[in-house]
Structure formats: C-alpha cells, structure tokens
C-alpha cells in the first residue's frame, strides 16, 4: 500500500523520482538488527527512487517511514491516507496504523486478510507493473553509501518465473509472503500470471515451502484457455454476393480464461441475418457471447478484408 500511494503521488506530480528526502532519527531508529532496513542515515539525502528501491527490494521499514513522512508529514497522517485508499479499493479487512507494518506505539499493527492482499497485489500489478522492476532485483549495491544488501524476496532464481513481490514478519502474523510468478516461464502453455499469498508460517522455511507447493499446484492443475483470438476466425458467414461465397468472422478482441476444472467457457455466436456486399474491412457482422463462471464478454465479429 505504501508503494501504491507513493506511485499515485508521483503520477499526480506532487513528488518525483528525483525528489530529495533527508534521513531522520525516526527512520534511523528502524535500521537496527531486529528490523528489515536499507540503512538510512540521519541527515543524509535520498531520492524517492532510492527509497522505493529500498522499500521493495529489502523490505526497508526505514524507507517506508521516510516516504510516509515526505508525503503526509507523519506516519499517522499517512496511515489515514492508506485506510482511505483501502476503503476506496473495497479492501474491507485492511486496517493501517503506519507505513511499514511494525507495531505502533500503542502496540497496534496493520492487518489484512489473504484475499485482500491478493486483490491489492493485482491492482498494483495492473496499474503500476514497474513494481516488478524493483522486486526482480537481486539486491542493492550502493558503493557511495556502503549499502550492500541482498533481496529479501524468496524463490527468485529458484523457481522460473518468480519475480516478486513482498515479505512481512511480525510475532502475531508469523512469516508472510506475497509472491508473483509469470507461469509461462515455468510452463509455456500457461500464459498467465499467478499471485500466491502465505500468512502465519512459523518460520521462513515453512513459508517458502508452502509457497512452492502453491506454485506447482497451480502449474499442474490450472491452464489458460484462449476462447476468442483476433488472429483466428471464430466462424464464417455464407454470402453469395462476395467472390469467395463466404466471409470469415474474426473477434475484435482476445478473450481467455484460467481454467481449473473440466467446465469449459460457454460460447454463443449470433451472425447478422442479411449480410451483402460490398463489405469493408472492420465491418461488424455479428456477435460472440462468451461466459465462464462469473465473467462474461460480448465480442464483435468483424471482417478483416
């Protein structure tokens, strides 16, 4: 959520990647051995780009604090912004007290269901796919500041296609991770991205093992099925007034589904009843109605010549 709001602020022009932020004692106090941090130093200047990198690559609580205070003046005010955004996105289980997820002074901490973590991840990946540029990095090597830290994101380099996204650990929540994976890198037939969420593991090994099981379960039992393909005709219409005697009907957009069971998508085609030449490229000559579970699409069928 801290990443999402920061990117929104950049997109709106309120800050930029090159905006300078000075390290504070409050952020420095989050760099001890008990915290995940980039290693912020009090009084030193950092760009927003550097802080986003530390936030995502090494799960920097110090970077989260500095971004929050830069945007809202304090973590308390930033938390209000986070709660407002969660409500706006329909993430009903989410409650925020700060930008990092650590316990606050009143011993309260951020909370979320696994489902809402999934939904939030999907929203970010669709709106700001550049998050993967950070989460796929091996680590941070800043020679000038003597910062050399490996990425805290597990399974990258171990399972093909894993390119993110975020870990989190507190005593109450246990060891948690949200993982993103391009399934086509694991199996070329699976042309989709998967998001996995594991919460409450007793240690990192159990967390990573559970996520590995999830990934291979998806790879084995889920497949991507393209139902409408703009490069392949869905049907054809007999038209005596054209030279070939028929017109191929192509969908004007691709439609596909990730399918687990034997239930296939429903496809119904309705071709216009009175098609006559001349027919121009792009003319709409029918409809394709596609549905699977709770998703449905209405696709125009067009001539390509």
Does residue 168 register a pLDDT over 80? yes
pLDDT in tens, 180-192: 999 999 998 888 9
What residues contact residue 12 under an 8 Å CB cut-off, 6+ apart? none
The neighbour count for residue 59, using CB atoms within 10 Å, is: 23
Say if residue 37 is exposed, middle or buried (CB neighbours under 10 Å; 0-12, 13-18, 19+).
Answer: buried
DSSP H helical ranges for 173-285: 183-186, 204-221
Whole-number pLDDT of residue 202: 97
In contact, 215 and 159? CB cutoff 8 Å: yes
Q: What is the 3-state secondary structure (H, E, C) of the chain?
A: CHHHHHHHHHHCCCCCCCCEEECCHHHHCCCCCCCCCCCCCCCCEEEHHHHHHHHHHCCCHHHHHHHHHHHHCCHHHHHHHHHHHHHHCCCCCCECCCCCCCCCCCCCCCECCHHHHHHHHHHHHHHCCCHHHHHCCCEEEECCCCEEEECCCCCCCCCCCEEEEEEEEECCCEEEEEEEEEHHHHCCCCCCEEEEEEEEECCHHHHHHHHHHHHHHHHHHCEEEEEECCCCCCEEEECCCCCCCEEEEEECCCEEEEECCCCCCEEEEEECCCCCCCCCCCCEEEEEEEEECCEEEEEEEECCC
The stretch 272-294 carries a mean pLDDT of: 93
Of the candidates 55, 56, 57, which has an alpha carbon nearest to the alpha carbon of residue 66? 55
pLDDT score of 107:
80
Assess whether pLDDT exceeds 80 at residue 269: yes
The per-residue pLDDT for range 195-224, each reduced to its tens digit, is 999 999 999 999 999 999 999 999 999 999
Question: Nearest CA to 74 among 55, 54, 98?
Answer: 98
Q: Tell me if 79 sits within 8 A of 99, measured CB to CB.
A: yes
pLDDT at residue 176 greater than cutoff 80? yes
Are 153 and 185 spatial neighbours (Cβ–Cβ below 8 Å)?
Answer: no
182 HSE (CA, 13 A, CB side): 12
Structural contact between residues 202 and 175, judged by C-beta atoms closer than 8 angstroms: yes
Query: Average of pLDDT values for 77-91?
Result: 98
User: Is the distance from CB of 55 to CB of 164 less than 8 angstroms?
Assistant: no
Name the one residue in this structure whose structure tokens are 């991507």.
Answer: 224
pLDDT of residue 189: 85
CA nearest 225: which of 256, 194, 250? 256
Query: For the residues 10-38, what does the mean pLDDT come to?
Result: 94
Mean pLDDT taken over the chain: 95
Q: Among 31-45, 68-82, 237-251, which range has the highest average pLDDT?
A: 68-82
Buried b (16+ CB within 10 A) or exposed e, 94-111: bebbbbbbbeeeeeebbe
């Amino acid at each position: 959520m801290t990443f999402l709001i920061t990117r929104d602020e950049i997109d709106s022009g309120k800050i930029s990647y090159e905006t300078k932020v000075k390290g504070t004692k409050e952020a420095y106090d989050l760099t001890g051995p008990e915290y995940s941090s980039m290693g912020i130093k009090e009084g030193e200047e950092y760009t927003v780009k550097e802080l986003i990198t530390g936030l995502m690559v090494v799960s920097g609580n110090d970077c989260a604090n500095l971004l929050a205070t830069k945007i809202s003046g304090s973590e308390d005010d930033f938390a209000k912004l986070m709660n407002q955004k969660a409500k706006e996105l329909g993430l009903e289980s989410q409650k925020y007290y700060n930008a990092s997820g650590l316990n606050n002074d009143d011993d309260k901490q951020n909370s979320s269901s696994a489902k809402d973590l999934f939904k939030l991840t999907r929203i970010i990946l669709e709106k700001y796919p550049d998050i993967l540029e950070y989460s796929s990095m091996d680590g941070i090597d800043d020679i000038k500041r003597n910062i050399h830290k490996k990425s805290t994101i597990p399974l990258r380099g171990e399972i093909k296609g894993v390119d993110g996204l975020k870990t989190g650990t507190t005593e109450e929540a246990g060891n948690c991770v949200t993982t993103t994976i391009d399934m086509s890198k694991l199996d070329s037939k699976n042309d989709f991205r998967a998001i996995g969420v594991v919460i409450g593991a007793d240690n990192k090994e159990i967390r990573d093992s559970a996520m590995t099981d999830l990934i291979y379960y998806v790879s084995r039992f889920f497949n991507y099925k393209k139902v409408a393909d703009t490069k392949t005709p869905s049907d054809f219409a007999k038209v005596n007034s054209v030279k070939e005697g028929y017109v191929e009907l192509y969908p004007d957009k691709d439609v596909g589904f990730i399918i687990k069971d034997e239930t296939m998508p429903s496809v119904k085609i309705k071709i216009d009843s009175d098609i006559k030449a001349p027919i121009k490229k792009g003319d709409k000559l029918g409809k394709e109605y596609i549905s699977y579970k709770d998703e449905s699409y209405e696709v125009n069928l067009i001539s390509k010549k």
